[in-house]
């Protein structure tokens, strides 16, 4: 069940970026920091690219399909998670648009951007929690070792969520870590 470890790692990486995003929003909201639009763009790029290109397709096309074959009563849960994936893509598009509007409007645009971003962050945590607490334990309990072979192969192709299959996310993740202020990154305080 190597896929389980990979999924957990992908959730941790996304969670770290989402937590850093929340920290950055709080810092802007409190006036402790001025907006860093390079950083905000990088955070949104990561939460758009990694889940939508790397993580969710493997769940939708491989993991969920196998679970439905073995555990048909999981259909409602999987439908909810798939709906979250679709809404997540819509939310990241809306987040990008809100960032452009914020950047154009200046400080007066922050409340709307913050609202959109906090909704995204909240829905991301709820989605991860649902997968971690309900879906993955069910999969571990109900799928046989032979069921995991194809799932493991698909998720192993992802490499790791910090670099991606061909290293395409390595520079982005490094950029985020170097721009996000401590304690969530290495950037200036």
3-state secondary structure of 181: strand
- Report if residue 184 sits inside a domain: no
Crossing angle of helices 145-156 and 2-30, in 10° steps, is 50
Range of the domain at 120: 2-179
Nearest residue to 29 (alpha-carbon basis) of 117, 90, 88, 114 = 114
Average pLDDT of the residues in 148-165: 79
Residue 164's pLDDT band, with cuts at 50, 70 and 90, is: low
The pLDDT of residue 159 is: 66
Rounded to whole angstroms, the Cα distance separating 19 from 15 reads 6
| Res. 161 pLDDT band, cuts 50 70 90 | low
Average pLDDT on 14-43 reads: 93
Which residues touch 184 (CB under 8 Å, ≥6 apart)? 16, 19, 20, 23
CATH number for the domain spanning 141: value is 1.20.120.520
Question: Is 186 inside a domain boundary?
Answer: no
pLDDT > 80? residue 1: no
pLDDT at residue 183, as a whole number: 81
The predicted model scores a pTM of 0.89
């Amino acid at each position: 069940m190597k896929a389980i470890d990979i999924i957990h790692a992908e959730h941790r990486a996304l969670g770290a970026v989402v937590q850093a995003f929340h920290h950055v929003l709080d810092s802007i909201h409190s006036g402790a920091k001025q907006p860093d639009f390079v950083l905000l763009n990088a955070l949104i790029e990561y939460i758009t690219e990694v889940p939508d290109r790397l993580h969710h397709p493997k769940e939708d096309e491989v993991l969920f399909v196998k679970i439905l074959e073995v555990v048909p009563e999981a259909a409602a849960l999987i439908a909810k998670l798939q709906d979250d994936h679709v809404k997540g893509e819509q939310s990241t598009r809306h987040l990008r648009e809100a960032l452009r509007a914020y950047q154009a409007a200046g400080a007066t645009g922050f409340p709307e951007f913050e609202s959109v971003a906090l909704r995204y962050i909240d829905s991301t945590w709820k989605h991860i929690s649902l997968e971690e607490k309900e879906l993955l334990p069910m999969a571990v309990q109900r799928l046989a070792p032979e069921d995991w072979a194809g799932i493991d192969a698909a998720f192993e192709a992802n490499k790791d969520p910090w670099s991606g299959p061909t290293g395409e996310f390595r520079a982005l993740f490094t950029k985020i870590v170097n721009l996000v202020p401590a304690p969530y990154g290495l950037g200036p305080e």
